[in-house]
Each structure stands twice: as structure tokens, then as C-alpha cells.
Structure 1
Amino acid sequence: MFLKVLLVDDNRYALNHFSNLVNWEELGFSLIGTATDGIEGMELYEQYHPDLIITDVQMPGIDGRELARLVKQKTPDTEIIFLSSYDEFDYARAAVDLKVHGYLLKQELTRDILAAKLKTIRDHFSEKMQNAHQQIKSSLTTCFRMSVNELESEGYPDRKLCKGSAFFFIIEQDHIPEQIALQSDCQVKEAQYNRIFPQLSAQIPELTYLIRAERFIWIAITDDRKDSEKSALVAASFLREHESENFSVYLCGKVETIMDCRKRYEELKYLSKQRYFEGPQCVLYADLFDPPQKIPKTHMEALLKMADSIWDTEINDLDEFLSSIYKPLLHQQDFDSFIRMTCHILHAINKQLRKNGQPFDLYDEETFYLLSAKRIIRWIKSKIILIREFIHPVYSDMTMRVMDYIHQNYSNPLLSVEMIADIAGLSINRMNDILKKDLGQTARKYLAEIRTEKACRLLEKGLPIQQVAEQTGYSTPSYFSHVFHKSLGISPQEYQRTKRKNGAAAP
């Protein structure tokens, strides 16, 4: 980043000479303008906000000392160097009083002397910026460890994040809802942010600050003069490609100060819940979302009461039943009510499990992938069907024949619903009617479920994607990947990486 320089001198010849005395950019500076008197110099200062002003002392109107005084009143951090043809004590004393960085004699000013002075100023700026950056980062970190009320009651000293406006976005590691994590005792491992932060900073040079706000959540701040939206999207893309965990990104807009950022973060906390309705690895624009409307209490109580009749519902009506109790919650995108309903149903499932001798564990490896509302509903449905199989394990002879045939032939890429119907000795429609009653799904869906289950076991063993596709009845790896992602919401590669990272062994 170049430091901006303004030259001011009432002698046009001297002004032109000093403008061309050094290669400014090679020294890390950008000459943004020249002025022939203090008035013009002040106008250019107001317009460009230079980091350094090199000004003659004696000028008509506003002289160098007055110019320095006015600038220092507005921006004390702006550095100023006095130029003069006279080596007089009064000028030197004025330089000290006004905290001017230096005093140069025109007749002794050579290329080397000016370059050396500029290097000193450049080093001074770098040190000052590093110190300021560290102080602000420390203040940011402290600020996010305290509540807004605590900060306001203690009179926490606020400060600007950068010269102009800043832009901030939130990076959140996708994870299962806290309520399910507590019930299941599934401890989701937090990503190694100390390793990831330097990698992100290298990918996004304009990333000014990156801190951990709380578990799973990071705050990223960029200078608003840059393409801030692009920075957020680059961060999302980098994390998606290089990390086994899933991450979502929320673009939150402009802020001026640390407290602005802290308060805005508090206002947007609902986005952490909103993402469950959008799915994992989502990018949300905060301006496009409002806090969700709560389901009326009486309506919610009626839905909970309806959910109590879940065991009286036929399996082939299960989709419609779950839709009737979840649809209002999904429509309102009321996460608190959604998770309340989910915990209510999970309590009922646990009750049935205890009643039937705990035939299986409710919470298994799949629990770690409950990263969206739709996936949670599908998971609940699968558990209800599974427990029903233990409560009502008797299937029709036709269903048993179909299940055995699919288990024996799922690896055949030519296996079709027509072939399965031939084994059943029925039409496709009639066969599916019976399967829906017994299994809660059609032959095609049951085949896809078995193939996905078998594929998971093979991926856990570390087999290549192409080999897994061949052994589970898919004609091409790309089609296998498409079906697998549609079923589990995660690609085979991501599934395998996650299992390998967690050290999961195939059963």
C-alpha cells in the first residue's frame, strides 16, 4: 500500500524540482498532488487526506506552520516535513511544537537525503500501523468476550476500525443444533482456526482483522475501499475446497467502529439459526433477511399435540404427517419452534426405544451430518421407520422377496424397477403400494437407500470413488456422486475425507 504525499511550495520551480527528485513509488509513496500556497494545500488535504505533507514554511496567506497546525488539529497522525531556505531556530522550534516529523533545508536537499528521510517515515508508519492494528485486534477480541450491556455499563472505549468505513462478514462452521448435540452427546470438533486464519489471510490480502468471536464463529473485517463482497466469497470458496468441515458465510455490511461491529453482530445472531433452513455451506446477505416471525403460542401447542399421534400414523402416510407438523415452522423459518418440535419428537422416539428394549442407538454417525432442517426431518423419518420395524417387524411375503432380491442384486447397474416387479409377480404400481405400507417407500427409493448405505461402508474402507460406484451399481462415478450428494447432502469425497479425519473405521 502506497502512502499518499502532498507537496506544498509557493516557488513553482522548487515544486517541480522536488516532485521529480525521487521515484516516489519505488520508495512506497504516491504523489497525489502539489499546491503553490497553504490555501490550495488545505483544499487538497481535505480532498485526498494524505499521509504525508511536505511543505515550505514561508508562504503568503496560510504559511507552512499554520497549515501544519490546521492539519494536526484534524488528523494528528498525518506526518509533516518542513522545507525552508533558512536554518533558523524559530522554524526548528515550530517543528518540535507542532510535532512535525522533520525539517529540511532546500539548498542541501539531495536525492539521497530525501530518500533517506522518506524511508524513515515509511518505517515509522509501518511500526505505527502494526501497533495500531494489534491494539484494535486486541480490543476486538476483548469486545467479543463481553456482552453489549457489560461494555456499555463499563464505558468501554470505542475506536474506529480503519480510516474509512469497514466491511465485516461472519464465518460460521456448520454444526448440528446445540439442543441435539446436548441430547446426543455428539461433540462436534471445532476447526483449527489457528491454522486456518493465516491461510485465509494469505488468500485475501485486504482482510484486515480475523478473530474468533465464539465457538464455531469467526469475525472477518476488510477495508471497505476494497471489493469486500468478493473477499467474503473468496473465503467461502477457499474453505469449501480446502477444509473437510463445512462453513457458511454471512455478509453483514458496513461498520465504522469496534462497538458498531459488536452491536451489529448481536443483531444478526439469528442468521446462525437461519442457515439451517438454507442448508450447509450457504452464503447469506444480511440485508435480505429479517428476524423470523414466531409461531403463535396456541398454534405451536396444537402442532405439538398433533405430533403426539405420530405412532398412530400409517407408514405410507408418514411423509404427509411430518409435512403437516413441520410445514408451518419451515414457512415461518422459526428455528426455535422447529427445534422445540424436533426435541419433542425425539423424546417420543426415545420413549419407544426404552419401551422396546433399546433395539438400536438413536444417535449414530449420521447425527454429525444434521446440518439443515430438511436433513433433520429426513433423519427423524428414518428413525421412526426403523423403530416401527421393531414394533411391527412382520412384512408380507412379497416385501421379503423384494428386499432379498435388492440386497443380492444392488450392485447390478442394469437392475430396474421392472425387474424387481417381475420378482414380486405384480405390477409396478401394486408392488409399490405394498412396499409403501410395509417400508414407507417405493422399490426405487429402497434400492437407492441400500446402495447409499453400502457406498458409505466402502468409502469408509478408503476405496476409490470409481470402484465404489462400480460395486454399488452405478454406471459412472459422476452419476454416483450426484445421487450420493442428493441423498446425504454431502459429496462422496467430503464424506470420505471426514471419516478419514475422524478416524472412523468401517464396521
Structure 2
Amino acid sequence: MYRAVLVDDENYDLEGLRCLIPWRELGIEAVCSESNPLAALQYIENHEIDLLITDIRMPAVSGMELSRVALELNPGLKIVFISGYQEFHYAKQALDLKAHAYILKPVDDEELISVLRTATAELELERRRVPEDGGMIASFNFIKNDVLQHLLEGSIDGATLGEFLARYPLDLSFTSASAVLIEADDVLMRVQEQPEGGYAGLDRLFQYIGSEIDASAAGKWCRLNRSQLGFVYTGPRRTLEEWLQQLVLRVREHTDYTITVSYGAEVWSLGELAASFSQAKAYMNGKMFIGKNRVIPPVMNKPGMVQDIKELSVVLEGMFAAMAAYRLADICDWLDELFEIAALFEHPVKVYHFSIHIVTRLEAYLGTLNETYESLQQMDAIHHLETVDDIKRWLRRTLFEISELLFLKKRHKNRRLMEGIEAYIRERLTENLTLRGVAGHFAYSPNHLGVLFKEHTGESFNEYLVRLRMEKAILLLDQPQYKIYEVADQVGYKNIAYFSRQFREYFHMTAADYRKQS
């Protein structure tokens, strides 16, 4: 049996890991499961382990820090990071630690089981001293997906990309390229019909498409979300549309799905890929105008269609951004603009299809946030709506509900984070605390943590720190056994003159005067 430690500060997620994974069938014993990373660290320091499955960002001790200590004590350790944050720098840190895998929340049980099987297989090979095949990148297929997605979405800067490619070779060279977006058709309907098997079918579909791309050496690809795949086509531009048409045909013949494909302009550098991909996303909105199960080219012959698609793209981006930021009034404004576009459709059936298209785009957008919303899968609700106003009201209510859920989830995360940070500060008031130091301990940037502090407490970090120190100073001054310089030392001031000046500024009297009157 291999020994595993499970760490997640979310009790619900931890319980899911502990109870829903068939550990013994995998030849693994979960010897420790902790929501408190400090308790997990204490266990690791006193026991040998083979596997560490940990959340990447936790208060007090991050998954990264926990893993570094665990690796020093157990050099052959296999680490699986679980994260709710699809950000490049987390994946890069995972690579630096030679992590076995990096899985995004919500965790797919089958994905984790597959990862654990490969981890135990590697452990068995190492026990038998059988050399592993392939280089390090083969063990990090997840990072290829992450890097390509950031390239397509324009969310990685050139310096960071260059640093990564210098250390972890991944061939992204090309003479020219086009960004391609591939979307599975009728996803919501299929998931509604087969709640358990729908997403597994999507996984098989995209595995098939990926194998077709790899077999043709047509370029690099990455899974964007549950229903979409991004693809950097590096073959001859003149054969691109023909190649994509053949892919659409093969998918229809060899899978249970059909796909719709769009592509952007030809580009000649990595930095231009994001612009090409943005075009591909905009053209995908043409699916509702000209139909699915086909290739949507950049130039369409129907008069006004390109302009309609561009307007729809702008409206959808604005509406989804307002939803994610909990700006309810802006959601209403964007909805009004959206249904001005819908008013151009002369038949109610077209409005219904328009609504299905919007919900599909919304589901894909939530996928980029690693979020789901179960009601979107209940498409019967739209079937029963009789008028455009009914559809508009339903969509407004749905967007409001999702916006509030995202807001509450974010606030809950921030509240838990801030409670941990406040406890950390209170325990260390005697130390030289700085915003940068506290931010570094909790794996945040100083600017980001400063904003969170202001939102949570209504004070800046320094204002909060001074208030805590002054409150504790008052309590100590009320106890006559402490000298004033001892009080200053116990609240973090090594310079008695500086303490006296801050005390006077805060209470408008000296510490000595306060003690006399108390």
C-alpha cells in the first residue's frame, strides 16, 4: 500500500476526496486527511509518505510550502495539486516542484483516479528501479494545455512565456498560424438527456479530435472548457478550410457528436495569436445565423451578418463581465441591447434558437471560470416560454442568480482568507509585520492583498495593524506590572520614541498620561 496525505481547507472538498475515491482499490491508504495545513505539516514531518494530494492555496501554509517540506523529507514523493485557480504562475510553480499533476476544481473523480493510477505506476517503477520513458514534459501534459490557453486568450506576457520555454521546452514555433475554435453542438441538450454520461461523451469527442490533429501534425491544441477546444493551426493557410471541413465530416462519421468550427486571421508570431483567436470566438457567434455542424469562415456573404455578429460579441462580453462583477444594473442594460438584436428576427422560433445560443455561450463562459450552473442544463424551461418578454425575464433572473452565487462564493473565500490573515497578524504583533511579508506568506501580491484588506475591514493594512497594536497597548497599560517600554516591545515597537509618537497620534495623549488617568 502506498501512503497518501490529503489536504484541503474546504471541509466539503476534503470529505469528497476521502470518501469518493476508491483508495484501497488503487493500492493507496489515506493515512492522513486534514483541513488544517499546519496539522498536515506536522504529520508529514514525522511520517514517511508516498503521495501528497493538496489544495494549492490555503491560509497559514500554502500547498506549495507544504510540498517543498514534504519533498525534502520524501524525495520520491508524488504530488497532485488541486486548485480553483487556472492561472499560469500556479502551474509554473507546480512544474518547478516536479508535481505529478495539476487538477482544477471542481474535481472530476475519474480524472483524479486516472492521475492516481499513473502516480502509483510510476512509484512501482521507481521501486523496481526501472527507468522512466520520456522527458519531464511528458509527465506534464496539463501544462501544455495551460500555456496554449493563455496564449490564445492573450493572458501571458512575452517575458513569462520566454522564461517558461527556456526551462521547459515545448515546441511552439511556426512560420504562420491561424487560431481555430472548435465547439461541440447541442451540449446542453445532451447533458440534460444523459446527466451522467454527457460529459464523459464530450471527453471522448475531444480526445478523438486531439488525436486527429496530432496524427496530421496540423498544430497544437488545448481543451478550453467542457464544450470547446482551441487549436493553433500551423499548416498551409490555403488548405486550412479544407482540412477543417474534413475534420467536421470525420467527427460526424466516427463519433456521436457534430461540431462547429470557426477560425481567425493568419498570423506570423505568438503575440498575434490572441487577436486571431478573438476573431474565431466572434465568428462562432455566427453559428446561430448560418447553422451548426459546419465550418464558419471569416468572410460570410449574407449582407449585414458580420456586423450583427460583431455587435452580438460585444454585447455578450459586456453582459457576462457585468454578471461576473455583480453589476446588476449593467446586466439589465446589456440585456436591453441584446434583445434589440433579437428584435431583428421575424419569427418566434428564431428568437428561441437565439436564446439557446446565448445560454450555450453563457455555459462556455462559466467554464472559463471553472464554474457550473445546473439550471442551464434544464433547457425545457425555455421551451415553455411563450413570448420574447418571457425569455428576457427568464434570462435576467438566471443572470442575476448566477451573479449573486459568484459574488457570495468570492466573498466567502475572501472572508475565510481574511480570517486566517487576521489570526496570523494577531499572533505576531510583536514581530516586524509588513504588507509585503504577510502577502508573501499567503501567496498573494501585496497590491491584491491591500485591496482585499480595504474591502474586508474598511481600513488599509497599516491602519489595521496600528489599530490592533494600540488596542493591545491599552490593555497592557492597564496592568501596572508592565513598564511602558515593555508594552511597546510587546506590541511590535522596538523604538520607544516611535511607539510614543504613534500612541499620541492615535489617542491624543501620551502613554504616561493614559496610565495616570486609568
Q: Which has the higher contact order (CA 8 A, sep 6+)?
A: 2
Give the TM-score of the pair, scaled to structure 1. Answer: 0.30
Q: Indicate the structure (1 or 2) with the bigger Cα radius of gyration.
A: 1
